[in-house]
Amino acid sequence: MTPAERIDQLRRSIAHHNERYYAFDAPEISDADYDLLVRELSALEAAHPELASAASPTQQVGAGRLATTFSEVVHRVPMTSLDNAMDVAELEAWGERVAKGLAGEAPQFVCEPKIDGLAISLRYEGGRFVQAATRGDGRVGEDVTRNVATIADVPERLPENQPGRLPQVLEVRGEVYLPVAAFERLKAAKEQENVERIAAGRKPEPVPVNPRNAGAGSLRQKDPSITAARGLALWCYQLGEVVGGRDFTSHHETLEYLRTLGFPVNPQIRVVGSLAEVVAYCHECEQQRHALGYEIDGVVVKVDSLAQRELLGFTSRAPRWAIAFKFPPEERTTLLKAIEVSVGRTGRTTPYAVLEPVFVGGSTVSMATLHNQDQVAAKDVRPGDTVVVRKAGDVIPEVVGPVLSLRPAGLAGWQFPTVCPCPLRSELVRIEGEADTRCVEPACPFQRDQRIIYFASRVAMDIEGLGESTVFQLSDAGLVSDPGDIYALTREQLLTLDKWGETKADNLLAAIEASKSRPLPKVLTALGCKGLGPAASEALARAFGTLDAVMQASEAELATTDGVGPIIAASIVRWFADAANRAFVDKLRAAGVEFGRVEVRRLPQNLTGKAVVVTGTLAGFTREQAEAAIKDRGGKSPGSVSAKTFAVVVGVEPGASKVTKATELGVPVLDETGFQVLLDTGELPQAGA
């Protein structure tokens, strides 16, 4: 294919995807895949300037043509797009261009989280809200006034704190977005609706893929009452047209002005004095991106001085004084090659997607979870679909949903299997009222292997070197049939295995020996009792002290333990009542597993139900001691701050994100003295005490 042919192909493809994204809120590819197309086109146009065109998507803003749902609005001041920096090198190159454009005059920068929403323009005349418009192609947008008026964050009238000083016309620009919690509610409701539709023999409807698309679709509803019910929100970040207003010299002054008028301005916005600080802010924002309650996909960096902005000016589509630093993609589109089923240690079967490998969330993904039978049906994903895959941080990759516009004609739906994929081919059973389908054959080799893998995992006995592949190798060789057999392994047996040498064998045996002295909470977790995870195991260990005491406790006694409750308590009693399980415990005891012991401290449970976060270094406690002091009194000590946090204890060099989050949410912040008062009384110290 010649450069001219590829350029033409890319222009047509990008124009198509622009229309799907901006006009119909139904993209067929992820933002990351779209960015790759645009960057390829830009590189080809730069290499072949004779093929450049003013009509190219690289020279345009937003959508090509608009949908006809709403009337058109002409922007008096164009709503431009932003150029992107995909890594620090590109960000620094932009900084060098800015410095050059200012003839060496040092700029100050404003850094803002890049909200993954829908750009909006709000127009006020005489202090009254009169119009809202989408960005559209930057010159012409859509009139969405009635829908935007339903958003609680949008002021209907501006306060007249300074009579006569309100501008005759004030245009405020920002981003309408759907908070993550609102998106999850919308998604769950649609999935449940699809389950009911399928049960009634009707076709499922598309499930919202991500907050951005769901938010854009919510804003562009014909019925404003639907928009009102979705829970949309707004962040404001820029002035547009202003007539008769006060003069400003910097961008951060305009943001403060918007705050005084009652507009929501993101509290994460920061003014910095150098590009090095910009880079540090970008890294900090990326680390915090999942703790904000709304989706961000990067950082917008702007020159703060309005005079310097005038000097720098614009390209044909974007300001030279601003750039968007994009985070690594967490969503990509790829081919769903097949749907398979895995079997866990309790017999639970989990469908998973076999994918055309795709780089997303910092790694190459070839498999992704589909959760359960109902989720597959509700999302209506089928082998052969192009699907959206999401991987956020350390979260297991998941298939979000299909791109229906790319589904091949006649593609058959997927049916959940009726027999286990193990060699026994036992029947799969779904108990009425449960979401999971299970293999109920105790001899199922898949369940056996997964029980051993879980027993050796980091959350349980933490046996280094005994991962999935090693367990499969030991199991296939007939050396282990349950977790207790691990402790009978010998050096001679291991050396008979393929690719095993003396060092590898000795290391595994040493790790197995070390696991015998694991603390009681890990032993309880390792048993694999349904519902008994690390948190409940730690609570039981603190309450009862020994494994034997837990085994002998009644259901009522177990249920009173914080974090256990009646369901888990009943599961524990049933597990220990099983003769085979008691024999397994005896097998571990005979092998020399110590089961640990926890000193039962009868401290007043004055922090029951309260979550206290500790950050920074305390003089009188190590981090572990501080968290233990909280838990000994019935409290919880999570690693992050949320609206449910009772207090945050701050020592020396605390985590800035935790302190910021506490301030935003109004969570009390305590020093070490206040922490001691909290431990002694269970209450916050009184002001002045």
Positions marked active-site? 114
Structure-token pair, residue 508: 């595994």
Other beta carbons within 10 angstroms of residue 436's beta carbon come to: 17
Per-residue HEC secondary structure of 382-429 comes to CCCCEEEEECCCCCCCEEEEECHHHCCCCCCCCCCCCECCCCCCCEEE
Torsion of CA 221, 399, 112, 77, to 10 degrees: -40
Distance, in Å, from the CA atom of 304 to the CA atom of 255, rounded to the nearest integer, reads 11
Number of residues written out for the chain: 689
618 phi/psi in degrees, rounded to 5: -100, 145
Structure-token pair, residue 542: 């603190």
Distance, in Å, from the CA atom of 85 to the CA atom of 282, rounded to the nearest integer, reads 11
Structure-token pair, residue 354: 């076999």
Distance, in Å, from the CA atom of 147 to the CA atom of 100, rounded to the nearest integer, reads 44
What does the DSSP assignment read for 434-484? -S-EEE--TT-HHHHHHHHHHHHSTTTT--TT--HHHHHHHHHTTS-SSGG
Distance, in Å, from the CA atom of 91 to the CA atom of 6, rounded to the nearest integer, reads 28
Q: Which residues pair with 267 in a beta bridge?
A: none
Q: To 5 degrees, how large is the angle CA 521–CA 523–CA 524?
A: 65
Classified as helix, coil or strand, 622 is coil
Characterize 240-257 residue by residue with b for buried, 16 or more Cβ atoms within 10 angstroms of its Cβ, and e for exposed: bbbeebeeeebbbebbeb
Classified as helix, coil or strand, 80 is coil
Q: Side chain identity at 366, as an amino acid letter?
A: S
Classified as helix, coil or strand, 170 is strand
Distances (CA, A) of 434 to 229, 437, 529, 622: 30, 8, 18, 44
Distances (CA, A) of 309 to 101, 145, 300, 314: 10, 30, 15, 9
Q: Which residues pair with 352 in a beta bridge?
A: 340, 369
Classified as helix, coil or strand, 535 is helix
Place of tokens 């991106």: 289
Distance, in Å, from the CA atom of 281 to the CA atom of 275, rounded to the nearest integer, reads 10
